[in-house]
Amino acid sequence: MQSAGRSIWQLFDQFNATIKTANAQKSSYRLFRKDGKMAEAENMAAQLDNTWSELDNLQRQIVSQTHNGMSAANAWCDAVASMTAVGCSTNKAQASCAKSQSQWSKQSSAPIMTKTQYATTWRKPEDYKFDPPRHHAPLLNRPAPNRVPAARFAKYAAALLLSGGCEAIRSKSG
């Protein structure tokens, strides 16, 4: 199945290799975001945009070559039918016609012919935001939850020492 330029099989090989590249880039992109490396994530997103565009272009070439191949197969079969009508056709020509139509028909029904996922962006709305993650205030600058003021602590400690046990503190703090 050869057409002008690269064969459809070369396009498929390149398409499959480019999908692997896109998957690796997407994985790196997610890891950069997870690690808060927003500059790297933004750079990887731009690379992935280019790869995604390349996938869309390759898919369009494959679809175009498939349509052209199917048209050529139909034209060949029309020619074989005309030859048969005048008694000039051979079994070899008829077999060639059937094989060609079968190959292109099979290719025409492949999922790549109808998928349009590469014609749209891979990004979700949040994939356009590259603000650095917000860091919480360091522990020393945060007020401690349920911190006992020093005066109350001293009062409880004195009560504990005077009463000889924790019961005095529990009854006064409860």
- Tell me the per-residue pLDDT of 37-80, one tens digit each, with 9 for 90 and over: 999 999 999 999 999 999 999 999 999 999 999 999 999 999 99
Q: Which two tokens stand for residue 153?
A: 């602590």
Residues ≥6 apart with Cβ < 8 Å to 156: 148, 169, 172, 173
Does 162 have pLDDT greater than 70? no
Does 143 have pLDDT greater than 60? no
Taking only the tens place, the pLDDT of each residue in 1-17 is 544 457 888 999 999 99
User: How deeply is 107 buried, as exposed, middle or buried, from its count of CB atoms within 10 A (0-12, 13-18, 19+)?
Assistant: buried
Q: Which two tokens stand for residue 58?
A: 């390759």
Q: How far apart are CA 54 and CA 43, in angstroms?
A: 17
Q: How far apart are CA 118 and CA 120, in angstroms?
A: 5
Closest CA to 4 of 68, 76, 99, 56: 68
Does 172 have pLDDT greater than 70? no
Supply the pLDDT for residue 150.
62
Supply the pLDDT for residue 136.
53
End-to-end Cα spacing for the chain: 86
CB 33 within 8 A of CB 61: no
Taking only the tens place, the pLDDT of each residue in 68-112 is 999 999 999 999 999 888 988 788 888 999 999 998 988 888 888
Domain ranges for the chain: 1-115, 147-174
User: How deeply is 152 buried, as exposed, middle or buried, from its count of CB atoms within 10 A (0-12, 13-18, 19+)?
Assistant: exposed
Closest CA to 19 of 8, 9, 11: 11
Q: How far apart are CA 5 and CA 162, in angstroms?
A: 97
Supply the pLDDT for residue 107.
87
